Amino acid sequence: MFNLISKNFFLNFSIIIFIFILDRISKIYVIKLSEENNVNELFSSKYLDINLIWNEGIAFGLFSFSEKYAYNLLTLLIGLVIIVIFYMISKNDGLRKYSLIMIIGGALGNLYDRIFFKAVPDFIDFHIGNFHWFIFNVSDIFISTGVILMILIEIIFDKNKNYE
């Protein structure tokens, strides 16, 4: 049993680290390209632009704050949510656990940026014509995928529950 716990812990931790490193590499690469070329718009095509922006808010730039105290409070709140998600990971298994692992891997990537850069670099800009989706990064992809999986799990596996 100890080997099983160690193996699962190692696998879970490895996935979190992989997501974090993939996010870091992508952000470092885009930031470096932006600095070298002295531009924020790095790539443009019919449906995808790579355009570096610094997001001081939460998901997709929502709730951006210019006040230092509000920003620090928001960062602290995100840290507390990460602790709760770690607890939830320990209490779940299967697809629920891996959905939470994706969320935590992405959240740690963005929390790192909030702490060390005071903003999160976002750069993936999907668009159709003049309609642009929110600009996001690799961490946001994992967070969103994890949340969507959690929602689907609740819908699919809890459909047999009686909600009287």
Write phi, then psi, for 52 (nearest 5 degrees): -75, 125
Of 49, 122, 125, 158, the active-site residue reads 122
Residue 125 known to be catalytic: no
Given 23, 113, 125, 140, the catalytic residue: 140
Token readout for 4 is: 């099983």
* Longest Cα–Cα distance in the chain: 61
CA-CA distance, 66 to 52, in Å (whole number)? 19
As given in the structure block, the two tokens for residue 44 are 């443009």
In the sheet that holds 120-128, the strands lie side by side as: 41-44, 48-55, 120-128, 131-132
- Among residues 72, 50, 63, 20, the alpha carbon closest in space to that of 136 is found at 50
Active site residue 49: no
Q: Which residues form the catalytic set?
A: 122, 140
